[in-house]
Structure 1
Amino acid sequence: MSAENPNTEITNAEITNAENPPAAPLLVDGWRMAVGTLTAVPVRPPSRIDRRVAGAAMLLAPVAALPVAAVWIVCAVVASAALLPLVLSVVAVAGMCLATRAMHLDGLADTADGLSASYDRDRALQVMKTGDVGPSGAAAIALVLLLQVTAGEALFVLAPAALARVVVLGLLAVCASRYSLALACMRGVPSARPGGLGATVAGSVSRPAAAGAGLFLAVVGALGLAAAGGPWWGAPLIVLTPVVATALLVRRCVTRLGGITGDVLGAAVEISCACALTVAAAVVTGQLLPLP
Structure 2
Amino acid sequence: MTGPLTALGMFSVLPVPASARTPGPGVLRWLPLVGVLLGALAFVSALAVWRGSDDGAPLLAAALVVGTLALLTRGLHLDGTADLADGLGSGRPADQALAIMRRPDVGAFGVAALICLLLVQGAALAAVLENSSPATGLLAVVLATTTGRVAVLHAAARPVAGGSSLGSLVAGGDPPALRWALTVLLVAAAAGLRMGTGGDGADAVWAGCAVLAALAAATALTAHATRRLGGVNGDVFGAVVEVGTAATLVVLAAGQVWA
Q: TM-score, normalised by structure 2?
A: 0.91
Match of 2:93? 120
Q: Is the 8 A contact 2:190 2:207 kept in 1?
A: yes
Q: 66, 72, 83: which one pairs with 2:36?
A: 66
Superposition RMSD on alpha carbons, in Å? 1.8
Unmatched 5+ residue regions in structure 1? 1-27
* 1:184 Cα deviation after fit: 0.6
Match of 1:46? 20
Match of 2:174? 205
* Residue identity matched to 1:258: G
* 1:195 Cα deviation after fit: 4.2
Which one is further off, 147-156 or 232-241?
232-241
1:35 aligns with 2:8: yes
> Counterparts of 1:181-260 in structure 2 under 5 Å?
181-186=152-157, 189-230=158-199, 231-260=203-232
Identity %: 30
Q: Deviations over 1:19-56 (max 9, x none)?
A: xxxxxxxxx232122211111111124386443xx2xx
* 1:156 Cα deviation after fit: 1.8
Partner Cα distance (1:50, 1:38) in 2:
13
Q: Is the 8 A contact 1:173 1:280 kept in 2?
A: no
* 1:279 Cα deviation after fit: 1.0
1:278 aligns with 2:257: no
* 2:33 match: secondary structure: helix
Which one is further off, 30-39 or 89-98?
30-39
* 1:93 match: secondary structure: helix
Q: Deviations over 1:218-266 (max 9, x none)?
A: 2222221111111222332122123211211111111110000101100
For residues 193 and 237 of structure 1, do their structure 2 counterparts lie closer, same or farther at Cα, with a shift above 3 Å needed?
same
Q: Is the 8 A contact 1:36 1:43 kept in 2?
A: yes
* Residue identity matched to 1:192: A
* 1:151 Cα deviation after fit: 0.5
Q: Deviations over 1:80-115 (max 9, x none)?
A: 262121112111110110010100000000000001
* 2:204 match: secondary structure: coil
> Counterparts of 1:86-101 in structure 2 under 5 Å?
86-101=59-74
* 1:78 Cα deviation after fit: 4.0
Q: 111, 115, 123: which one pairs with 1:138?
A: 111
* 1:76 Cα deviation after fit: 4.9
Q: TM-score, normalised by structure 1?
A: 0.81
Match of 1:168? 139
> Greater Rg, structure 1 or structure 2?
1
Partner Cα distance (1:191, 1:272) in 2:
20
Q: Deviations over 1:184-225 (max 9, x none)?
A: 112xx1110244111111111222111001111122222211
* 1:65 match: secondary structure: helix
Partner Cα distance (1:77, 1:222) in 2:
28
Match of 1:267? 239
Partner Cα distance (1:242, 1:204) in 2:
22
* 2:212 match: secondary structure: helix
For residues 60 and 241 of structure 1, do their structure 2 counterparts lie closer, same or farther at Cα, with a shift above 3 Å needed?
farther
Q: 82, 94, 100: which one pairs with 1:109?
A: 82
* Residue identity matched to 1:98: L
Which one is further off, 233-242 or 126-135?
233-242
Q: Is the 8 A contact 2:35 2:142 kept in 1?
A: no
For residues 49 and 91 of structure 1, do their structure 2 counterparts lie closer, same or farther at Cα, with a shift above 3 Å needed?
closer
1:158 aligns with 2:140: no
